[in-house]
């Protein structure tokens, strides 16, 4: 029997193609994964794109790849999220709530937020994505302007936790019924991240987010428009 050659994990193959600037090869690899996995974009995120980005960060930190390569890999990955993410919400559950999604002040890591926004849309939320760089006061104004039910916030760097907390406080002052969900590696190490940042729910696992959303959205809260809403047809 001929020895079976071990294949490298898919996220490393993806990383290697991009390291060789083989964008087309990386795109094909992703398409093949989605074909094999019946279009499971959540699995693409969890099993290929996120570990590839984490690996990219390690390689950059160890000086094995340049900053330019790191940017290149994250930009191609952003393209792929924007290309395939909409499959997740091609036939969303009935739209019933509005979310505003943004990064913590000064936070430039936005890819996790894009992925979280896809999950929120798949669960039937109309997501207004503000991305990175929106001033906190304008986020508060916007949340009030669009009568947001949910604020989704991403915090990658620990030094942005205090600003995230202030942003949440400001947004809640404008809209007390707001459900705040947050995630990002900056919250991962905190003992009680939800309490620390003032969110209702914190997770870095997007499958958990999808699972928990219906329960979170039913949560009664003072002044909530959700509370007064008639039951949605299932
Ligand atoms: C790409 C990248 C960048 C890009 C970002 C481009 C972009 N458009 O996003 C650029 C070049 C801008 C960048 C800049 C910097 N970076 Co950088 N970056 C990365 C890298 C390689 C990937 C980030 C990423 O997209 N990860 C994948 C995403 C999907 O993961 P995620 O954000 O954690 O999201 C997941 C969960 O956290 C969760 N989640 C995230 N958001 C939300 C929101 C909600 C609501 C929910 C429910 C869940 C959720 O869901 C996601 C899926 O599981 C990481 C390495 C790594 N380990 O991640 C370093 C990394 C984060 N960067 C790092 C650093 C140091 C920096 C800089 C300070 C470098 C510098 N000296 O300038 C700056 C800081 C800029 C800033 N002010 O924010 C360090 C951080 C170390 C630390 N202190 O924790 C890392 C870890 C690199 C390393 N050392 O390994 N970076």
Q: Which long-range contacts (CB under 8 A, 24 or more apart) does 165-172 make?
A: 165/196, 165/197, 165/198, 166/105, 166/136, 167/104, 167/105, 167/136, 167/139, 167/140, 168/197, 168/198, 168/199, 169/198, 170/136, 170/137, 170/139, 170/140, 171/139, 171/140, 171/143, 172/198
Ligand 1 contact, 182 CB (< 6 A): yes
pLDDT given at position 3: 57
CA of 2 to the centre of ligand 1 (A): 42
CA of 163 to the centre of ligand 1 (A): 17
Is there a contact between 217 and 226 (Cβ–Cβ < 8 Å)? yes
Report the nearest-CA residue for atom 42 of ligand 1. 183
CA of 18 to the centre of ligand 1 (A): 18
pLDDT given at position 139: 98
Please, what is the Cα angle at 121 between 116 and 126, to 5 degrees? 115
**Torsion angle of C-alpha atoms 10, 12, 14, 17, degrees rounded to 10:** -130
Ligand 1 contact, 66 CB (< 6 A): no
Ligand 1 contact, 115 CB (< 6 A): yes
> Do 10-88 and 97-218 show the same overall fold?
no
Structure tokens at 26: 């990386």
> Which of helix, strand or coil describes residue 185?
helix
CA of 156 to the centre of ligand 1 (A): 5
| Number of the ligand 1 atom closest to the C-alpha atom of 187 | 37
101: DSSP letter: E
CA of 224 to the centre of ligand 1 (A): 33
pLDDT tens for each residue of 41-82: 999 999 999 999 999 999 999 999 999 999 999 999 999 999
pLDDT given at position 1: 44
pLDDT given at position 229: 34
Ligand 1 contact, 97 CB (< 6 A): no
Low-confidence residues of the chain: pLDDT under 70: 1-4, 219-234
CA of 53 to the centre of ligand 1 (A): 8
Ligand 1 contact, 181 CB (< 6 A): yes
pLDDT given at position 198: 97
Superfamily of domain 97-218: Cobalamin-binding domain (3.40.50.280)
What are the residue boundaries of the structural domains of the chain, listed by start? Answer: 10-88, 97-218
pLDDT given at position 218: 86
Burial class (CB in 10 A: 0-12, 13-18, 19+), 98: middle
The topology (CATH level 3) of 10-88 is 1.10.1240
Which CA distances in Å does 195 have to 40, 58, 127, 135, 141? 33, 30, 24, 23, 24
Report the nearest-CA residue for atom 7 of ligand 1. 109
Q: Which residues contact 193 (CB under 8 A, 6 or more apart)?
A: 182, 187, 199, 202
Mutation choice for ligand 1 from 48, 66, 112, 189, CB with most ligand atoms inside 8 A:
112
pLDDT given at position 220: 61
């Amino acid at each position: 029997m001929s020895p079976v050659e071990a294949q490298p994990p898919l996220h490393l193959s993806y990383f290697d193609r991009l390291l060789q600037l083989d964008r087309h090869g990386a795109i094909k690899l992703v398409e093949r994964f989605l074909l094999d996995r019946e279009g499971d974009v959540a699995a693409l995120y969890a099993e290929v794109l996120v570990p590839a980005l984490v690996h990219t960060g390690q390689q950059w930190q160890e000086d094995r790849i340049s900053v330019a390569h790191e940017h290149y890999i994250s930009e191609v990955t952003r393209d792929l999220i924007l290309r395939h993410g909409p499959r997740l919400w091609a036939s969303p559950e009935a739209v019933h709530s509005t979310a505003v999604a943004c990064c913590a002040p000064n936070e430039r890591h936005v890819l996790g937020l894009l992925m979280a926004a896809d999950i929120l849309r798949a669960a039937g939320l109309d997501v207004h994505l503000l991305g990175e760089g929106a001033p906190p006061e304008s986020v508060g104004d916007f949340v009030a302007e669009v009568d947001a039910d949910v604020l989704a916030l991403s915090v990658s760097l620990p030094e942005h936790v205090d600003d995230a907390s202030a942003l949440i406080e400001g947004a809640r002052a404008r809209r007390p019924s707001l459900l705040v969900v947050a995630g990002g590696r900056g919250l991962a190490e905190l003992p009680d991240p939800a309490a620390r940042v003032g969110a209702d729910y914190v997770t870095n696992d997007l499958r958990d987010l999808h699972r928990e959303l219906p329960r979170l959205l039913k949560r009664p809260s003072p002044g909530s428009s959700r509370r007064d809403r008639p039951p949605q047809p299932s």
